[in-house]
Structures are given as C-alpha cells and as structure tokens.
Amino acid sequence: MLSPEELSRYSRNILLNEVKRNGQEKLKKSVVTVIGAGGLGSPALLYLGAAGVGNIRIIDSDIVDTTNLQRQIIFKHSDIGRSKSESASENLRSLNPYINVEGIQARLNAENAKDLLSGSDLVLEGSDNFDTKFLVNDICVREKTPFITAGVLRFEGMVMGVRPGKDACFRCVYENPPAPEHVPSCADAGVIGSMAGMIGAIQATESIQFLLSDSERDSGLFGKILQVDSKSMEFRTISTARREDCATCGTVH
C-alpha cells in the first residue's frame, strides 16, 4: 500500500495511464539489482529510486575517487574515499526515504554471483569490463532473470535487454570477451559524463517500463541493441536473434 506521502510524491507517475496507482504499487514491490554504481549505475539508481522502485540492491567493490565525480552523479565531493556501495545507498535513501536500499561492497564473481543476484525481478549491468558482463549474462540466463546491460566510451554508448529463454543473450551476440588490450577503458580513452547519464537514464526508463508490464512485452529494448553516437546524435536499434550454438542459451553444443 502507498502512504499519503507516497501518493503525493509519485503523483506525476500515477497520472499516467501506463502507471496509475496499481502500477506504482507494483514498482514499490519490485526488486532491482544494479551492478556498478559508476557512470551508468549512478543516473540509473537516481531515476529508479525517484520513481519509487521499492527495493534496490547496489553491488560495487570500489571506492569513490576524484575522477569519478565528472560523471558518477550519485556521489558528492565529500564522498571521496568512501565505499561506493555505502555512499550510493546513503545518498539514494536521502533522495527517497520510502524505498529500501541495500549496498553490497563486493566484486561480482563466479562464486558469489548467484547468491547476490537471487530474488531480483530485474538486473541492471553497468560495469566497465567484459568479464563481468559475460558473467552476469551467464548467471541471469541460467537463473532466468531478465537483465539490461549497457556500456559507454568516449561519445558512444549501447544498451541491450535480455529475457532469458526469449531473447538472444549477450553471448549470442558477442560470443566471448575480447582481449583486454583490444578494449580501451574510460580511464584510457575518456568519456563524456553526460553520455553516461544518457545511457544510464535509458536503462532506468526501460527498467521502469519492464517492471510495469508483463514479461512478454515486445516493445522497448528487449531483444534489441540500441547504439547511440552523441557526436552525430544518431540512434540505431538492431534486432538480435538467438543462436542455437550459443554456449549459454543455445540448444546445440
């Protein structure tokens, strides 16, 4: 149930035919796990929390650094040196005291991933490395947990949604992680902060729409990849197809 204070807070959501009171209550009951409170996770977390997603889990092992503040907008200057998971959780609760936020200071790995992602209605992946992206893909597909993965570099970004058993998974498209020397990081190549904000906001918007609808929804970015080039402001959507020989979700091995 929504309290009078929550009804007022979320009134602009509730006015929407796609939300209404029932939808807002559905958001309140939802559980979303966000992997990485960085350039993508920061805006996604703020919008999920502001929208009233009631249970948010933040997984991040890093410490807030000065260089993060150019794009990781959930943090303040006073957070430098603090645990990202702890400070992000605290700042999100400050934004919306009506939601439950759990910060977990851990690096996702093959040993802890299943436990850390369990119970999620949706997982948002916004890490800065392909090993984590493939791990999240493999665990979510195995556990049948929908997820939205995204990446950003320089002036470009991408978002991809996967409903296990229905859509092509991340490994269907990319197969294996590239060699580290072939993939520059934001620390090496740079990134425009607002570009990360744009992609993180898209992740949050798609998440909210997914949580409000049923899992068979065919619109949005599930079963697709959105590629964004902010220099030219070109948005390109590519449909994905499952591979029968995919090592994770295929039927032929």
Report the DSSP pairing between strands 31-35 and 55-59. parallel
- Is 186 catalytic? The answer is yes
* Catalytic one of 140, 169, 172, 186: 186
Report the DSSP pairing between strands 147-153 and 55-59. unpaired
Secondary structure string (H, E, C) spanning 93-162: HHHCCCCEEEEECCCCCCCCHHHHHCCCCEEEECCCCHHHHHHHHHHHHHHCCCEEEEEEEECEEEEEEE
Q: Going edge to edge, which strands form the sheet with 31-35?
A: 100-104, 55-59, 31-35, 122-125, 147-153, 156-162, 224-229, 234-239
- For the annotated catalytic residues, the residue numbers are 186
